[in-house]
Amino acid sequence: MSTALAERLLRKQWMLATAESCTGGMIAAHCTDLPGSSAWFERGFVTYSNEAKTELLGVPPDLILKDGAVSESVARAMALGACYRSNAIVSVAVTGIAGPAGGSADKPVGTVWLAWCVDGIAKAEKRLFSGDRTQIRRATVQAAIEGLLSRLP
Protein backbone atom coordinates (compact mmCIF):
# COMPACT_ATOMS: atom_id res chain seq x y z
CA MET A 1 0.00 0.00 0.00
CA SER A 2 2.82 2.42 0.78
CA THR A 3 4.29 1.99 -2.69
CA ALA A 4 0.96 2.86 -4.34
CA LEU A 5 0.59 5.84 -2.00
CA ALA A 6 4.12 7.02 -2.80
CA GLU A 7 3.52 6.74 -6.55
CA ARG A 8 0.32 8.81 -6.40
CA LEU A 9 1.80 11.51 -4.20
CA LEU A 10 4.96 11.73 -6.30
CA ARG A 11 2.92 11.98 -9.50
CA LYS A 12 1.02 14.98 -8.09
CA GLN A 13 4.15 16.33 -6.34
CA TRP A 14 2.16 16.45 -3.10
CA MET A 15 3.48 15.98 0.41
CA LEU A 16 1.72 14.02 3.18
CA ALA A 17 1.42 14.82 6.88
CA THR A 18 -0.06 12.61 9.57
CA ALA A 19 -1.87 13.59 12.76
CA GLU A 20 -2.10 10.63 15.11
CA SER A 21 -3.54 10.03 18.52
CA CYS A 22 -4.44 6.39 19.17
CA THR A 23 -1.78 5.04 16.78
CA GLY A 24 1.05 7.03 18.36
CA GLY A 25 3.02 7.50 15.14
CA MET A 26 2.44 4.11 13.57
CA ILE A 27 1.07 5.60 10.33
CA ALA A 28 4.12 7.84 9.96
CA ALA A 29 6.38 4.87 10.70
CA HIS A 30 4.56 2.77 8.10
CA CYS A 31 5.06 5.49 5.49
CA THR A 32 8.69 6.15 6.32
CA ASP A 33 9.56 2.44 6.23
CA LEU A 34 9.63 2.92 2.46
CA PRO A 35 13.01 4.11 1.15
CA GLY A 36 12.78 7.53 -0.47
CA SER A 37 9.74 8.54 1.55
CA SER A 38 11.25 11.98 2.22
CA ALA A 39 10.18 12.88 -1.34
CA TRP A 40 6.49 12.60 -0.38
CA PHE A 41 6.23 12.40 3.44
CA GLU A 42 6.52 15.85 5.02
CA ARG A 43 5.96 15.27 8.75
CA GLY A 44 4.01 13.48 11.43
CA PHE A 45 2.26 14.91 14.46
CA VAL A 46 1.75 12.60 17.44
CA THR A 47 -0.93 14.37 19.42
CA TYR A 48 -1.88 11.89 22.08
CA SER A 49 -3.12 14.42 24.62
CA ASN A 50 -5.87 16.97 24.14
CA GLU A 51 -3.35 19.72 24.83
CA ALA A 52 -1.13 18.45 22.02
CA LYS A 53 -4.09 18.45 19.62
CA THR A 54 -4.66 22.10 20.48
CA GLU A 55 -1.03 23.27 20.60
CA LEU A 56 0.33 21.41 17.57
CA LEU A 57 -2.71 21.17 15.29
CA GLY A 58 -4.86 24.11 16.37
CA VAL A 59 -7.85 22.01 17.41
CA PRO A 60 -10.09 24.37 19.40
CA PRO A 61 -10.27 23.29 23.08
CA ASP A 62 -14.02 23.98 23.15
CA LEU A 63 -14.49 21.52 20.28
CA ILE A 64 -12.79 18.81 22.33
CA LEU A 65 -14.91 19.70 25.38
CA LYS A 66 -18.15 19.74 23.37
CA ASP A 67 -17.70 16.66 21.19
CA GLY A 68 -14.90 14.73 22.89
CA ALA A 69 -11.44 13.93 21.56
CA VAL A 70 -12.82 10.88 19.75
CA SER A 71 -15.26 12.58 17.40
CA GLU A 72 -15.81 13.52 13.80
CA SER A 73 -15.25 17.21 14.44
CA VAL A 74 -11.93 16.67 16.21
CA ALA A 75 -10.69 14.22 13.57
CA ARG A 76 -11.53 16.71 10.81
CA ALA A 77 -9.86 19.56 12.74
CA MET A 78 -6.76 17.39 13.21
CA ALA A 79 -6.57 16.61 9.47
CA LEU A 80 -6.98 20.27 8.54
CA GLY A 81 -4.47 21.34 11.18
CA ALA A 82 -1.89 18.89 9.89
CA CYS A 83 -2.05 20.52 6.46
CA TYR A 84 -2.24 24.08 7.72
CA ARG A 85 0.73 23.60 10.03
CA SER A 86 2.97 21.89 7.50
CA ASN A 87 3.88 22.02 3.83
CA ALA A 88 1.55 19.10 3.05
CA ILE A 89 -1.35 19.12 0.62
CA VAL A 90 -2.62 15.77 1.94
CA SER A 91 -3.08 14.57 5.50
CA VAL A 92 -4.60 11.76 7.48
CA ALA A 93 -5.70 12.02 11.10
CA VAL A 94 -6.83 9.39 13.58
CA THR A 95 -8.32 9.62 17.05
CA GLY A 96 -9.80 6.68 18.88
CA ILE A 97 -9.98 4.29 21.79
CA ALA A 98 -7.52 1.41 21.38
CA GLY A 99 -8.20 -0.03 24.85
CA PRO A 100 -8.22 -2.10 26.79
CA ALA A 101 -9.79 0.63 28.97
CA GLY A 102 -11.28 4.00 28.15
CA GLY A 103 -14.39 2.93 26.31
CA SER A 104 -17.99 3.84 27.10
CA ALA A 105 -21.46 2.84 25.92
CA ASP A 106 -21.37 5.64 23.33
CA LYS A 107 -17.74 5.12 22.36
CA PRO A 108 -16.68 1.53 23.02
CA VAL A 109 -13.10 0.30 22.78
CA GLY A 110 -12.28 0.04 19.08
CA THR A 111 -14.08 3.27 18.11
CA VAL A 112 -11.87 5.26 15.78
CA TRP A 113 -12.52 8.42 13.79
CA LEU A 114 -10.33 8.79 10.71
CA ALA A 115 -10.14 11.96 8.65
CA TRP A 116 -8.40 12.80 5.41
CA CYS A 117 -7.65 16.22 4.02
CA VAL A 118 -6.90 16.46 0.32
CA ASP A 119 -6.20 19.88 -1.13
CA GLY A 120 -8.07 21.72 1.63
CA ILE A 121 -11.14 19.46 1.86
CA ALA A 122 -11.46 17.25 4.95
CA LYS A 123 -13.76 14.25 5.24
CA ALA A 124 -14.12 11.87 8.16
CA GLU A 125 -15.31 8.34 8.77
CA LYS A 126 -16.10 6.40 11.95
CA ARG A 127 -14.97 2.81 12.27
CA LEU A 128 -15.35 0.21 14.99
CA PHE A 129 -12.45 -2.24 15.08
CA SER A 130 -12.36 -5.41 17.15
CA GLY A 131 -9.52 -7.16 18.86
CA ASP A 132 -6.90 -6.19 21.38
CA ARG A 133 -4.99 -2.90 21.49
CA THR A 134 -2.40 -4.01 18.95
CA GLN A 135 -5.03 -5.31 16.52
CA ILE A 136 -7.09 -2.11 16.77
CA ARG A 137 -4.05 0.06 16.14
CA ARG A 138 -2.91 -2.05 13.17
CA ALA A 139 -6.41 -1.99 11.68
CA THR A 140 -6.45 1.79 12.08
CA VAL A 141 -3.16 2.15 10.19
CA GLN A 142 -4.48 -0.03 7.37
CA ALA A 143 -7.77 1.89 7.17
CA ALA A 144 -5.90 5.20 7.19
CA ILE A 145 -3.66 4.23 4.25
CA GLU A 146 -6.52 2.63 2.30
CA GLY A 147 -8.59 5.78 2.88
CA LEU A 148 -5.79 7.91 1.52
CA LEU A 149 -5.47 5.75 -1.58
CA SER A 150 -9.20 5.91 -2.27
CA ARG A 151 -9.21 9.72 -1.99
CA LEU A 152 -6.16 10.55 -4.11
CA PRO A 153 -6.57 11.25 -7.81
pLDDT exceeds cutoff 90 at 153: no
Cβ neighbors of 143 (< 8 A, separation 6 or more) are 112, 114, 127, 129
pLDDT digits (tens, 9 = 90+) for 70-113: 999 999 999 999 999 999 999 999 999 999 999 999 999 999 99
CA angle (137, 76, 105) in 5-degree steps:
55
Alpha helices of 61-101 — where are they, by DSSP H?
61-67, 72-84
pTM: 0.97
Cβ neighbors of 142 (< 8 A, separation 6 or more) are 1
Pick the CATH number of 2-151 from 3.30.70.3280, 2.160.10.10, 3.20.20.140, 3.90.950.20: 3.90.950.20
pLDDT digits (tens, 9 = 90+) for 100-149: 999 999 999 999 999 999 999 999 999 999 999 999 999 999 999 999 99
Which pLDDT band, with edges at 50, 70 and 90, does 2 fall under? Answer: confident
pLDDT exceeds cutoff 90 at 22: yes
CA distance 106 to 81: 26
Cβ neighbors of 33 (< 8 A, separation 6 or more) are 2
Give the β-pairing of 111-118 and 121-128.
antiparallel
pLDDT exceeds cutoff 80 at 40: yes
Domain spans of the chain, in order of start: 2-151
Which pLDDT score is estimated for 1? 77
pLDDT digits (tens, 9 = 90+) for 45-65: 999 999 999 999 999 999 999
Which pLDDT band, with edges at 50, 70 and 90, does 44 fall under? Answer: very high
Which pLDDT score is estimated for 15? 98
